[in-house]
Amino acid sequence: MRILVVEDDGETRDWIARGLEEEGYHVETADDGHEGLFMATQGAFDALV
């Protein structure tokens, strides 16, 4: 399962991504809503956080 994590706070973003990766998910991250929207339209994600 591919998950896109969008969060402007780097520590929080890394914490969420790390936890999801430990559960076996493939995680990509975006620094803000603009980047997240672009990435979401370019990739096939199963979930957005």
First vs last Cα of the chain: how many Å apart? 13
Q: Which domains does the chain have, with CATH numbers?
A: 2-48 (3.40.50)
Per-residue pLDDT 10s for the chain (49 aa) are: 999 999 999 999 999 999 999 999 999 999 999 999 999 999 899 999 9
For residue 20, the model assigns a pLDDT of 99
Distance CA(21)–CA(34), nearest Å, equals 23
